Amino acid sequence: MGALDGLRVIDFGQYIAGPLAAVMLADQGADVIHVDPPKGPAWNTDADAFFQRGKRRITLDLKSPAEGAVAEKLIDTADVVIENFRPGVMERLALGPRGATERNPRLVYCSIPGFAPDDPRAGMQAWEGILDAATDNCIPRAGEEPPGWDWSRPFYSAITLPSNFGAFLGATGIVMALIARERTGIGQRVEVPMFDAMFTVIGHSGAYANAKGLPPPRGIHGRGAGAFRCKDDKYVQFDTSSARHLIWFAQEAGITDWGPELLDIMRLRDEGVNQKLHARLRELFLTRTAREWEEIGNRAGAACAWARNTTEWIQSDHAREIGAVVQLDDPEFGPTWMAGVPMHLTRTPGAPKGPRHLPDADHAAIVRELESLSPGVPPAEVDRGLTHPLQGMKVLDLCVALAGPTCGRLLLEFGAEVVKI
């Protein structure tokens, strides 16, 4: 049983943002129908095994009057629609949000474009590199740049942050709109431009903007923190967020010959002392394997993690035991390991609904099903007094650092009363 059991989602998404938002809903129990274009997926990638898992699939030519009418019926019988075309595309296909929500007042219609309709770049194809360039995501992490790095030189990141955050916030917005629908009886439009979503990624740095601009980026190499090569030529990431963690780590590692200045937080503010500590740590980490250092850090209560590659990460025993990665029998690749469901709900846990279906595998069944479904009807009464989905709800925020407070802030923005302890 999933939290979204009984909900019907039509996924017109292509590439990453739309399909990722939709698969998150499918994993929580929603019945998701993915619509492919006539020539197959716009991005024919192996990752399709993940993005399309648990969905039924139908191929439609949205420019064809007959098949466009099928798409309209799908929308009219849906709880949620997801699309990530450029602004105006769905309107030109006569499948836009205004007409859809007029015909189906309970519909939640989610758009995840690259740029908002009122952005001068609305018609631009918002590939990852374009969005990275538009949102200051073309620089290396401070402190990890190569020697002599030219900070005026942009580089392309293979990490699809704009699409991912668009999907995360899109799925969140959909759930919030569904909560509001439970209270008001009517759906609404949800729009999450990926350009806008990237302002969430800027994190605490954006909070310090003032007349002088943003502060310069700082590395994380203070107090001995950083990446270190180990005996097996693998690396660990060592993070000493406080002086006691460094002391605990030194004790667990059996270090007895370091002078007190290398374990004194006040002295480590001196760059010369900090460089001396780094030199000692580089020598130390070469004496054991990355796995051994991770175990030592874990016993000491200090943050020290083996820098795994993707294969090592997916093949780790713990990840498989807890379902962080799962194996599905893909129709093209056979048994395939992929990301599981990272959200653990105790009463409605959710799970992948099964492997992907091949394009158009469910066409006949979906069309036949439409004959027995009725379009959404407006509720007899509508509560117009609700202004925010979480209005009237209270949240106790006991969190520190970034992840927890970000959750509290997000719930606050959707109308909850948040009390920070």
313-363 pLDDT, tens digit each:
989 899 999 999 999 999 999 999 999 999 999 999 999 999 999 999 999
Nearest to 238 by CA among 287, 282, 299, 288: 282
Identify whether the C-beta of residue 134 lies closer than 8 Å to the C-beta of residue 195.
Answer: yes
Q: Which residue has the tokens 């709880």?
A: 79
- 161-184 and 17-27 helices, crossing angle to 10°: 50
Supply the pLDDT for residue 144: 66
Is pLDDT at 293 greater than 90 in this prediction? yes
Identify whether the C-beta of residue 64 lies closer than 8 Å to the C-beta of residue 74.
Answer: no
Identify whether the C-beta of residue 139 lies closer than 8 Å to the C-beta of residue 151.
Answer: yes
Supply the pLDDT for residue 115: 97
The bridge status of strand 108-111 relative to strand 334-339 is unpaired
Question: How far apart (Å, rounded) are the C-alpha atoms in residues 107 and 143?
Answer: 47
**pTM exceeds 0.85, yes or no:** yes
Rounded alpha-carbon distances, angstroms, from residue 305 to 36, 183, 289, 296: 41, 45, 11, 10
Residue 219: pLDDT band (50, 70, 90) is low
Supply the pLDDT for residue 143: 64
At 1, which amino acid appears?
M
Supply the pLDDT for residue 309: 93
Question: What are the structural domains of the chain?
Answer: 8-192+320-384 (3.40.50.10540), 222-312 (3.30.1540.10), 387-421 (no CATH)
